[in-house]
Chain A
Amino acid sequence: MNGLLILLIIVLLGVAAWQLSKIFSLTQIGTAKDDSAIATDKDNNINGYLMFAFVAFIYIFTIYSFVKWGSFVLDTPASLHGKDVDRLMNISMAIIFFVQTFTQFLLHYFAFKYRGKEGQKALYFADNNKLEAIWTIIPVIVLAVLILYGLYTWNQIMYVNEDEEVINIELYAKQFGWEARYSGEDNTLGKANVRYIKDVNTLGVDMADPASQDDKVVGEIHLPVGKKIHFRMRSQDVLHSAYMPHFRAQMNCVPGMVTEFAFVPTLTTEDMRGTAMMMKKVDGINKIRAKKSQALLAEGKPALEPYKFDYLLLCNKICGASHYNMQLKIIVESEADYKKWLKEQKTLSVVIKEANAPKVDPAANPADAKVVVDTTKMLAQVVGKN
């Protein structure tokens, strides 16, 4: 299939090259003797018209892109500050599109309009301070507005008011997965360092710290809607980036330091699933998946699961071979549901106690040890193969 596709592309390329050279040579008929390597009036004419066609191409391609791919763009922010981000984005985009449309037109239209002709004399026009002032001052004003608006929003987002009531959650990154730590009853995260990592204490929480006792480590994030969540990010190995596109939130996870980002989720997972935009998107995706499933079934492979929308935490900083598969589900729910879920989670101190509890069957011990050795060996083999 691929070989065929590549062959097809090569054939099409050949045809295109042949046709293009034919067009160019055909247009030279009137001046058959002209084999100059410098543009003639004829060349100026053709390329002038092509310049005009090119600005049309840019416009049409832009419109096509919006119609065809406009729905890809993240819509309906799921966080409080996301609305401000999107508003600023829309304003910037509007300015960009205006400038793009206008300047591309001028550039290509002039290239067409003033294409060289025998006897045409160019205007000796070297300088004009008024014009220079105009296109210095207008960008200055526009950018001043954008900068001020941008900085205002940035300050709103990035500085967390210390007195505000927040829920403290730690996002913990490692090759290639995420974990999260909830701060428990005291709403304070216990101290942690990779040097404390041991067995089930995978985040290196310092269990000597009283604040650590009620911390809960989980493999799925639940957030109550409408509450400010203060994330603190850590990484145990390389740089990662905690990217939550639907919440317009992102912050790098840096080994050796704690970074922060806070936001208020405003739409529960169910709310988001119910928006018209998302229903349409999921519908489209499921159509694609159904088609793929048919192909898979034909090959005797299992079909794909139908897609259901969930908020995601993705890694967005190159972090190693499996960087492309480092994700965690985020569930936004009502405060009651959130509290219920959190209650069900065991605190880290309990988890550690259970893990260290003496085994009931003494005969199992040597067997356990053996199993451990075996897994290490197997791991080593797997690593070696990679």
Chain B
Amino acid sequence: MSHDHGHHKDTFITKYIFSIDHKMIAKQYLISGLLMGIIGVVLSLFFRMQLAWPEQSFEIFKIFLGEKMAPGGVMRNDIYLALVTIHGTIMVFFVLTAGLSGTFSNLLIPLQIGARDMASGFMNMLSFWMFFVSCIVMIASLFVESGPASAGWTIYPPLSAIEEAIPGSGMGMTLWLVSMAIFIASSLMGSLNYIVTVINLRTEGMTMTRLPLTVWAFFVTAIIGVISFPVLFSAALLLIFDRSFGTSFYLSDIFIKGEVLHYQGGSPVLFEHLFWFLGHPEVYIVLLPALGITSEVIATNSRKPIFGYRAMIASIIAIAFLSTIVWGHHMFISGMNPFLGSVFTFTTLLIAIPSAVKAFNYITTLWKGNLQLNPGMLFSIGLVSTFITGGLTGIILGDSTLDINVHDTYFVVAHFHLVMGISALYGFFAGVYHWFPRMFGRMMNKTQGYIHFWVTAVCAYGVFFPMHFIGMAGLPRRYYTNSNFPLFDELADTNVLITVFALVGSAFQLVFFWNFFYSIFRGKKAPMNPWRSNTLEWTAPVEHMHGNWPGEIPAVHRWPYDYSKPGHDEDFVPQNVPMKDGEVELHH
């Protein structure tokens, strides 16, 4: 990285569109992620309405789904599955992987380690634009004649492989696979860039044990991504072969619509293994960056060092390692050997240990702090709360014996939405509120932030807590309506309540969007270091410039968590402040 970056004359195109500057790419990821988030959430509201008021006619369906998908305003049953599928895909991959990781890894890795940009700015740009193309293809799949992919976000064959099984497995599924293939390429380019940048471009004095926990989380996340995403790519490739070229990797002995298909010798269980080899680490690809953001935001706003810095790093690494050997807990009842089930139960429940360490470390960080309850801080505390509530039920689902009866019920829906959906979303919001001044040079309105948090917090519990109970009643997920089972009649009111909470909670996200876009243009001008934080990003000028620092890159002399350190006048000591005579690094 050369210093003359700042002297380039930027045109509109190179500054805002084909930018190779990591800060601009971060904003591009952020805005695209938020827009995809709107689509993902609106789809979920549509199917929640169908669940609460089954097979009723809604004007809004006539407008948005049209006569074909919702004849007379009543949602079709295969379109219900399509909405569920695309909601899952968009939220998991496009919002919480690309939106979250893409935004904050790009923004924070160079700024927090003291680098002028990513190792390869061009590859970074390419990564974003491939992500953008994959978004377009995924959105386009919503409009194809036979409907979008409808086999669930896990796209288990044969349902996803045979068009006769469900209309969405025609053109819709093809576009889904194309979109995901491009997405994976984008994600790999991003991840490789993050890894190389963290390893090679740290500023003077920035040892690995002086890295902020955000960077640790992004770094480890990128490594898991590089290990697991290619496996999904292979899985998708073999599925494309089965679909288009008549191979039998996943298919065997199929009789459908009165005809025997030629497939022989394949197994859907193979696909499940390959899919979850990515699918489970994916949960942590979503969650770890959120936990990294939370670590930073909680420490800064508690005016205290994060408790157990090294234990936090160790638990991130432990979670990352374990995450790659637990995928089988999605398959306890898939027909795989029960002995494998035992092994996966064992490894799965082990994850509770580093998770517990993290939760207690967060709580201890709050203890005897001087908590500045900014909106970012509220979302971080909220994250710890939903992470605990959602994580604990993992002890039940990870236990093969108990999984038998709650597998694929609403209990699972409650569990993963709390532990990875809501938690990661809170991490996302915490990051936006916290680093908004760094991105846009302005502040977001805190009152609107408070309203946003408290309503969201209540609604998140309101939506997902009751789902545990209807799940333990044995209600399967992905049912278009429960009205064919008199046994489930008593659950109808609860479904209405859940939907109302979902509608209210989602409506209040508009407060956030208003706050976000209004503040970009009209927010209060931000001071250089509004949260009085220690990390390096707050030593760089607010104005947009290539290379991040006008002069020399600051050197680092201490870890990032010297908050309220005895012997200093201020309650924070930025990383670039040299050690005083006789001062010791206490965390070692």
A interface residues (Cβ-Cβ under 8 A, vs B): 2-3, 9-10, 12-13, 16-17, 20-21, 24-25, 35-39, 43-44, 46-48, 50-51, 54, 57-58, 61-62, 65, 69-70, 72-74, 84-85, 88-89, 92-93, 95-96, 99-100, 103-104, 106-108, 110-111, 114-117, 120-128, 131-132, 135-136, 139-140, 143, 146-147, 150-151, 153-155, 157-159, 174-175, 193-195, 197, 204, 233, 236-239, 241, 243, 245-246, 248-252, 254-257, 259, 281, 284-285, 288-289, 292, 304, 307, 309, 312, 314-325, 327, 383, 386
Contacts and interface: CB of A to CB of B under 8 A. Distances in A.
B267 A257 contact: yes
A321 B333 contact: no
A54 B457 contact: yes
Contact of B338 (A121, A155, A174): A155
18 contacts: A20-B454, A54-B454, A103-B359, A121-B564, A121-B571, A122-B369, A123-B564, A124-B586, A147-B345, A150-B400, A157-B401, A197-B255, A237-B165, A239-B159, A252-B333, A284-B490, A289-B489, A321-B77
B328 to A, nearest CB: 13
Contacts of B489: 285, 288-289, 292, 307
B371 A44 contact: yes
A104 B385 contact: yes
B367 A114 contact: yes
Interface in B69-116: 76-78, 81
A61 B370 CA distance: 29
Q: Which 5 A-B pairs have the closest CB atoms?
A: A256-B252, A245-B474, A37-B443, A158-B338, A259-B335
A252 B252 contact: no
A29 to B, nearest CB: 13
Nearest to A73: B472
B367 A25 contact: no
Given A110-B366, A194-B254, A255-B158, A43 B457 contact: no
A96 B352 CA distance: 12
B389 A104 contact: yes
A61 B469 contact: no
Interface string B441-476: 001111110110011011001100110111011101
B446 A38 contact: yes
A2 B360 contact: no
Interface of B: 53, 56-59, 76-78, 81, 150-152, 156-159, 162, 165-167, 251-257, 260, 264-269, 302-311, 333-335, 338, 341-342, 345-346, 349-350, 352-353, 356-357, 359-364, 366-374, 377-378, 381, 384-385, 388-389, 392-393, 395-396, 399-402, 404-405, 407-409, 443-448, 450-451, 454-455, 457-458, 461-462, 465-466, 468-470, 472-474, 476, 478-482, 484-487, 489-492, 494, 500, 503-504, 507-508, 511, 523-524, 526, 530-531, 561, 563-566, 571, 586-587
B373 A48 contact: yes
B363 A107 contact: yes
B349 A146 contact: yes
B481 A116 contact: no
Contact of A327 (B159, B364, B448, B485): B485
Given A61-B465, A116-B371, A241-B408, A37 B444 contact: yes
Contacts of A197: 255, 260
Contacts of A2: 53, 56-58
A122 B370 contact: yes
Contacts of A155: 338, 342
Given A254-B268, A256-B268, 19 more contacts: A2-B58, A39-B377, A43-B446, A72-B473, A88-B401, A107-B385, A123-B369, A125-B307, A131-B360, A150-B399, A150-B401, A150-B402, A157-B401, A245-B474, A256-B252, A257-B269, A259-B335, A284-B490, A307-B487
A38 B353 CA distance: 36
B381 A51 contact: yes
Given A155-B342, A255-B251, A321 B260 contact: no
B1 to A, nearest CB: 33
B266 A256 contact: yes
B363 A143 contact: no
Contact of A24 (B81, B342, B447): B447
A61 B469 CA distance: 13
A51 B450 CA distance: 12
Given A38-B531, A125-B305, A325-B484, A256 B253 contact: yes
B364 A131 contact: yes
A245 B364 contact: no
Given A114-B370, A241-B333, A316-B409, A322 B77 contact: yes
Contacts of B400: 150-151, 154
A38 B465 CA distance: 32
A92 B496 CA distance: 29
B402 A85 contact: yes
B532 to A, nearest CB: 9
B68 to A, nearest CB: 12
A38 B81 contact: no
Contact of B253 (A84, A100, A193): A193
B193 to A, nearest CB: 32
B158 A323 contact: no
A126 B302 contact: no
Contacts of A114: 302, 366-371
A131 B462 CA distance: 34
A324 B480 contact: yes
B574 to A, nearest CB: 16
Contacts of A37: 443-446, 523-524, 526, 530
B165 A175 contact: yes
A285 B473 contact: no
A151 to B, nearest CB: 5
Contacts of A386: 167
B359 to A, nearest CB: 6
Given A20-B451, A175-B256, A257-B269, A13 B371 contact: no
B373 A124 contact: no
B373 A312 contact: no
Contacts of A239: 156, 158-159, 268
A139 B357 CA distance: 9
A194 B151 contact: no
Contacts of B369: 110, 114, 122-123
B396 A89 contact: yes
A203 B365 CA distance: 62
Task: Select the residue from B302, B404, B485, B500 with max chain A CB neighbours within 10 A.
Answer: B404
B187 to A, nearest CB: 25
Contacts of A237: 158, 162, 165, 254-256
Given A194-B260, A307-B489, A96 B59 contact: no
A107 B388 contact: yes
A236 B323 CA distance: 34
A304 B485 CA distance: 12
A100 B367 contact: no
A127 B404 CA distance: 41
Contacts of B305: 124-126
A155 to B, nearest CB: 7
B395 to A, nearest CB: 6
A46 B253 CA distance: 64
Contacts of A321: 76-78, 81, 150, 166, 480
Contacts of B486: 285, 289, 304, 307
Nearest to B568: A124
B482 A25 contact: no
Contacts of A194: 253-255, 260
B335 A254 contact: yes
Contacts of B473: 72-74
B460 to A, nearest CB: 11
A383 to B, nearest CB: 8
B59 A3 contact: yes
Contact of B407 (A132, A246, A250): A250
A96 B393 contact: yes
Contacts of B81: 318, 320-321, 323
Nearest to A13: B507
A259 B256 CA distance: 20
